Structure 1
Amino acid sequence: MRELVWICCFVLLCVGCSSQLSVSPKEASEFLRRHRRANQVFEETKQGHLERECVEEKCTKEEAREVFENDPETEYFYPKYQACMKKFGDSEKKKQDLITCVHNIPDQCSPNPCNPHGTVRCEDKKGEFQCHCFTGWSGVRCEKDVDECSRANGGCVHLCNNTMGSYHCSCRHGYTLSGHHMCLDVDECVETPDVCGSARCSNLDGSFDCLCEDGFIYDNILKSCVDVDECVTHVCEEECVNTPGSFRCYCDGRQGKRLGQDFRSCEPIELHRSLDMRKNSRSLYLGRMFSGIPVVRLRFRRRVLTGFTAEFDLRTYDPEGVIFFAGGHLNSSWIVLVMHHGKLELQLKYGAVSRVTSSGPQVNDGQWHKISVEEQGRSLVIKIDREAVMKIAVNGDLFTLNKGMHELNLTVGGVPFRDDGLVSRVNPRLDGCMKDWRWLTGEDTSIQDTVQHNERMQCYTVEDHSAFYPGHGFAFFNHSHGDAQTLRVHVTLRPASSVGVLFALVHHDRVPFSISLSDYHPGTLAWSEHVLVSFGDVVVASVPVNLCDAQTHTVNVTVSGNRSLLEVDGRLAQTEVMEDTHALDLTSSYSTFIGGIPDVSLVSAPVSAFYTGCMDVRVNGQLLDVDEAQHKHNDIRSHSCPLVDAQK
């Protein structure tokens, strides 16, 4: 029946389209000769069934088309169908395999051609398939990863990390992810309280910092603050000492330098008050040589014996010292005019006869006095300001006969032999000034010519009674001060500079104790004039005071153990017990230095500069007479000081 209907339809179609469609006789014959299957007429009236058409019976390509009713699926199906028939169609036992094989051919999604990781589902199309991809995948088979990070960083605030089929946001170190895209700062100081150890933790945006005080640096291994040694960077112009958290610069005051206000550089020390350093070219300074040797040596020779005469003007504050010597050698006849206890004293030796005579008023008052010594017959007459104060009988002559000539040696400011050869021993060093001298009626003028060409032999025009420290050199004593429990130092001074060492006790290369002037306080770093009392390099007492005003000031210091008391012009300093400071052991052997310190380390004391100005020092009530020092610089004057100019 189906075949009859099909034929009728075909005839009608041919009649209706005869003008457009024609079939050749051969094609028609082939068509009419096709094998007719059972119930074929009825099957052709509806869409083909795959199992009925191609499994139960072997189908042709045309019959397969009837099943799919489109060319793409037919073209895809038929070659694979032939392969299934070849593999499973020859045996009844394999029929089930054939059914499975044939049924799977038209399903484009079996086996699944899509990437299983990136595919939601596979959709079968007519001879094709379509892979529906998950978000994050692309491509025909959903095999391509979509790089979400390539567009606007995936919306991530910090880092976008692409993964297969997806992505995720992450944060830089020090942040934590909030939601899917945002990053929030992590407060490490709160989350890990000991993250910095002993240092102070400061949270930063995305990080943290371990902070230390100035002068310290954080050590990540020790988790603590360690001191920075600034000295290795040559931060100071001269000497540098590293201290916990800081450093201190020192300048060599012995070279005339002081610390600059930047606390690193060195500057020249300047006088705050000028000194009246004018010299009298017609005067002779007697104390120029600390060794006590004479400053002038003369020899007189006469064919005819004459009497000895000497006349000169003398000014001194010094109570002791040699003025002049006249005579032969030590074992012959000679006289020495000395100052002793402020009065003139004549020591003489004529052969085996020795004598010491002293008389007259005090002449060490700083005023000019005319002194004369004259040999009158067998007597020596000494006059002060033309008044005779001594007349001494002698038995012999001062001149010595040598090869027909009468000779006499004369020395000024010292004797030509050791001072223990004197009849009565005195300190030969005399800080005095002489002018208008006449030796043996003034016949010799060589002294005057020498003095005029050598300022160091001349006296200051005006002087005051005090020891003078010129800003270079010091005096030192090697003896104890009598009290092993307490040290009392009294200083009277009129400084020309605000920087300098007044008094110091030195032991080997250390300065256990010192009193000094400074224009800044090394503890408070205050730039103002101070009097400092120090144990080593530690200031234990200080008074801010201006002493460079051309006036005389007093400084009193009392030390007992590790306690010190400082008083300046009656003003007490605030002092405290320094627990970390070693007590001053007054039983130890110290060298006492005045006006400066020796060549010890600059860090031994806060001040190393030499003092400039007038100064007298008493220790435990005893005046330290620099004429009695074991050593002093020749330019230090023991009893005379040039006046400080009050106008500057």
Structure 2
Amino acid sequence: MVTVWKVMAGGLLLTLSLTLLGWGAEGQQNRREKKEVSGSTSVYLGQERDIWRPLIHTTVNLSEIRSIKSSFQFRTFDPEGAIFYGDTKNGEDWFVLSLKEGIPLMQISKGDVLISVAGGPKLNDGKWHTLEVSNQDKFVILDVDGSNGLAVGMQSKQMDEVLSGKLRLAVGGILISKEKMIVQFEPQMDGCVREGNWLNLSVPWQTEVEELWPCCDRVKPGSYFPGTGFAIFNTSVFPIEADHGVKVEFQGDFSKMDGTILSIRAPGQELMFDLVASNNKEEVSLTFGKEKLSMKYTVKRLVITFQTDLLQVLQDEDESKTTTLSINPTSHPGYLTTWREGRLAFGGLLGEGEDSVGSNFLTGCLEKIQIQGKDLDLDLGVKHKSISSHSCPVEA
């Protein structure tokens, strides 16, 4: 199912304009003058840019290196993304540390050797972990919180050569073509790196973004919407099953949300569905065609099931609060067409036109979004740069 979502989301990218998601001149930041930062600075890895480009990087002479260890602190709830990269010979020999399904993944190219190894503890638990990467004889070692997490051994005819020239280091991206890697992964990560000590060097690092986004002091799992954009999927990614339909579940403190949680519309048609939280009215309202259902905003969990002939809404765990709305071809003539050709927007109200700008964007944290009982990764859709897909800030 995840693979299908990626394919459909990729197709949607071709049909949406930059205006729809609020992108524009900001996408040209990579062309701006590079700025210097400290290598120990806090780096939010999910910051918007070309997703494969590092957020910070530096170049040093190999003759200046006296230490073979780099250490830093790392925190994320995201199961996948690029963390740390290094290379020599202008990218001929390289190293990449990333996460895949929450587990550390190291990929190394050295001369005629290409290696990929995954292992160690899952790191996407939202806690700060201290990671140390080092070279020990013919091994590259990853230590996690002082314990051995992953070791990669290499043997090559070129291992004993004396290295000279430049070493490049990067955080949050890579400096080579992604096609060179054995294992492909989604690079952008909702996570943070801080207190980096890179080969015991004090050289400045460079960033190509105008300003590095800060890391939140405290975070919790969820998807955070700051009120500036939404995430979009094709409805065809989630086909209605004859027996079970499509079940969408939301969890969170709805009393602290304001704006559109979910909207569904097909191009050229009227809005089919929206779910809205209102602080002013102190309610959560669901509109389906001309029918409207109002609920108390103290609700913590909503399960909405779309079927061919009915729409069912369950509030919290109380079966007595289950509401069923009948669907028939007369009152909802375009219902199934919308599921074949429409779009779902999480965190905003879809406009009428193909490239129209959304509105009534959501402010707040959805602690869980599930489709068919599986967590929905907003990174697999087309989302506004301001949305954090895997973490929400915790109020002090």
Return the TM-score normalized by structure 2. 0.76
What is the aligned partner in structure 1 of residue 352 from structure 2? 600
What is the aligned partner in structure 1 of residue 84 from structure 2? 324
Match of 1:468 among 200, 224, 240: 224
1:641 maps to 2:387? no
What is the aligned partner in structure 2 of residue 580 from structure 1? 331
Give the drift of 1:576: 4.1
Aligned CA distance change for structure 1 residues 577 and 432 (closer, same or farther; 3 Å): same
> Letter of the aligned partner of 1:314 in structure 2?
F
- Counterparts of 1:528 and 1:539 in 2: how far apart (Å)? 18
Structure showing greater radius of gyration is 1
> Letter of the aligned partner of 1:353 in structure 2?
V
Q: Deviations for 1:564-600, whole angstroms, at most 9, x for unmatched residues?
A: 1112213425444366333620651222221113443
What is the aligned partner in structure 1 of residue 12 from structure 2? none
Which residues in structure 2 correspond to 1:616-627 (within 5 Å)?
Answer: 616-627=368-379
- The answer to which structure, 1 or 2, has the higher relative contact order (CA under 8 A, 6+ apart) is 2
1:338 maps to 2:95? no
Match of 2:305 among 546, 553, 558: 558
CA RMSD of the aligned region, Å?
3.3
> Letter of the aligned partner of 1:483 in structure 2?
I
Match of 1:310 among 56, 59, 70: 70
Paired residue secondary structure (1:374): strand
- Counterparts of 1:491 and 1:620 in 2: how far apart (Å)? 12
Which residues in structure 2 correspond to 1:147-158 (within 5 Å)?
Answer: none
1:288 maps to 2:44? no
- Counterparts of 2:287 and 2:297 in 1: how far apart (Å)? 19
Q: Name whichever of 482-491 and 634-643 sits farther off.
A: 482-491
- Counterparts of 2:59 and 2:149 in 1: how far apart (Å)? 28
Aligned CA distance change for structure 1 residues 349 and 302 (closer, same or farther; 3 Å): closer
Give the drift of 1:617: 1.7
> Letter of the aligned partner of 2:307 in structure 1?
S
Give the drift of 1:416: 2.2
1:427 maps to 2:204? no
2:262–2:275 Cα contact (<8 Å) kept: yes
Q: Deviations for 1:197-229, whole angstroms, at most 9, x for unmatched residues?
A: xxxxxxxxxxxxxxxxxxxxxxxxxxxxxxxxx
Return the TM-score normalized by structure 1. 0.48
What is the aligned partner in structure 1 of residue 173 from structure 2? 414
- Counterparts of 1:428 and 1:397 in 2: how far apart (Å)? 29
- Counterparts of 2:260 and 2:159 in 1: how far apart (Å)? 52
Which residues in structure 2 correspond to 1:442-521 (within 5 Å)?
Answer: 442-446=201-205, 454=211, 456-478=212-234, 479-485=236-242, 486-495=245-254, 497-510=256-269, 512-519=271-278
1:465–1:640 Cα contact (<8 Å) kept: yes
What is the aligned partner in structure 2 of residue 530 from structure 1? 283
- Counterparts of 1:577 and 1:379 in 2: how far apart (Å)? 64
Aligned CA distance change for structure 1 residues 374 and 574 (closer, same or farther; 3 Å): closer
- Counterparts of 1:499 and 1:623 in 2: how far apart (Å)? 22
Higher strand residue share? 2
What is the aligned partner in structure 1 of residue 142 from structure 2? 382
- Counterparts of 1:612 and 1:461 in 2: how far apart (Å)? 19
Match of 2:295 among 525, 538, 544: 544
Percentage of matched positions with identical amino acids: 24
Paired residue secondary structure (1:303): helix
> Letter of the aligned partner of 2:237 in structure 1?
S
- Counterparts of 1:594 and 1:397 in 2: how far apart (Å)? 51
Q: Identify unmatched segments of 5+ residues in structure 2.
A: 1-20, 23-39
1:324–1:411 Cα contact (<8 Å) kept: yes
What is the aligned partner in structure 2 of residue 632 from structure 1? 383
What is the aligned partner in structure 1 of residue 119 from structure 2? 359
Give the drift of 1:400: 9.8
Aligned CA distance change for structure 1 residues 519 and 613 (closer, same or farther; 3 Å): closer
How many aligned positions are there? 344
Q: Deviations for 1:239-266, whole angstroms, at most 9, x for unmatched residues?
A: xxxxxxxxxxxxxxx99xxxxxxxxxxx
> Letter of the aligned partner of 2:175 in structure 1?
P
What is the aligned partner in structure 1 of residue 361 from structure 2? 610
